Amino acid sequence: MSVFDSVILGIVEGLTEFLPISSTAHLILTAKLLELETTDFLKSFEIVIQLGAIASVIFLYWKTLITKWDLNKKIIAAFIPTAVIGLVFYSLVKDVFLENYLISVYTLLIGGIVLIIFEFFHKEGDTKELENISYKQALMIGSFQSISIIPGVSRAAATILGGMFVGISRKTVVEFSFLLAIPTVAAATGLDLVQSISSFSGANFISLGIGFLVSFIMATISIKFLLKFIQNHNFISFGIYRILLALGFLFLSAR
C-alpha cells in the first residue's frame, strides 16, 4: 500500500465514520477504485484506522467523558449487544462480508431507502439531553448498532435511527452515537490487532500511522459539520446519496 493509498483511505474513513453512510462500505469501494488487492492487511487497515476517528471524539468530548460517569455507564450498556454479536460473528464479517463488495453496495441501497422512509414518519423525541437517556434506551441503541456488523449498514445510521426510534432527539442521539463509537471501534480494532499484528511489516505500521493521522483530522471536521448540519436538516439527503452511490457502483459492476 502506497502513501497515497493510505492518505486517501484515511480521508474517506475520517469523513464518513460518523455520517449515516457507512465508512466501511466507502473504504471497501474506495479500495476497489484504487485497484487495491483485498489482502488480510487491507482488511485490517480498514478496521484499525477507525481509531483515528475515535481519537477525534475523545479530543472533542474529553470533558464529557471524565465528568459524566453515569453517561459512561450507559455507553457501556449500549456497547454490550454489539460486543457479543461482533465477537460471535467476527470471522464471518472479516472472511466473508468484507470479501464481497456487492454486499456493501446492496446494504447501502437498502439503508438509503430505509433512511428516507424513516424520516417521513419520524417525530422528534422527548429525550433531549445525554444525561436523560435511560439504560433501556441505551440497550436498544446498542441492539440496533449490532446490525452494523454487516458492511454498508453504517454504525452511525443504525445507532442514530435506533435512538430516534426509541424517543431520543436528533442532536442528542447523534452525540451519543459519537461516544458509543469509542468502545465499539476500540474493541473491534483490539480484536483484529490480536489476530493480525504479528503479520504486520514495518511498512504496514507506517501505512497505519498515516491513515490514523489523516482519519483523526478529517473526523474532527466531519463531527463539527454534522452537528451544524442537523440543526436545520434531516437525514433524507444522506439517504439519497446512499442510493445514488449504490446505483452508480451497480452500473459500473454490470459493465
What local confidence, expressed as pLDDT, does residue 255 receive? Answer: 64
Q: Is the pLDDT score of 225 beyond 80?
A: yes
For the chain, the structural domain boundaries read: 3-254
**1-38 tens-digit pLDDT:** 788 989 999 999 999 999 999 888 888 888 888 888 87
What local confidence, expressed as pLDDT, does residue 96 receive? Answer: 59
pTM: 0.87
What local confidence, expressed as pLDDT, does residue 188 receive? Answer: 76
User: What's the rounded Cα separation, in Å, for the pair 67 and 56?
Assistant: 18
- 75, 182 in Cβ contact below 8 A? yes
Which cell goes with 251? 452500473
**197-218 tens-digit pLDDT:** 777 777 888 888 899 999 999 9
What local confidence, expressed as pLDDT, does residue 115 receive? Answer: 94
SS3 letters for 56-108?
Answer: HHHHHHHHHHHHCHHHHHHHHHHHHHHHHHHHHHHHHHHHCHHHCHHHHHHHH
DSSP label of 130? G
**45-93 tens-digit pLDDT:** 877 888 899 999 999 999 999 998 999 999 999 999 888 887 776 666 6
What local confidence, expressed as pLDDT, does residue 93 receive? Answer: 65
* Biggest distance spanned by C-alpha atoms of the chain: 55
Q: Comparing C-alpha atoms, which of 132, 143, 149 is closest to residue 192? A: 149
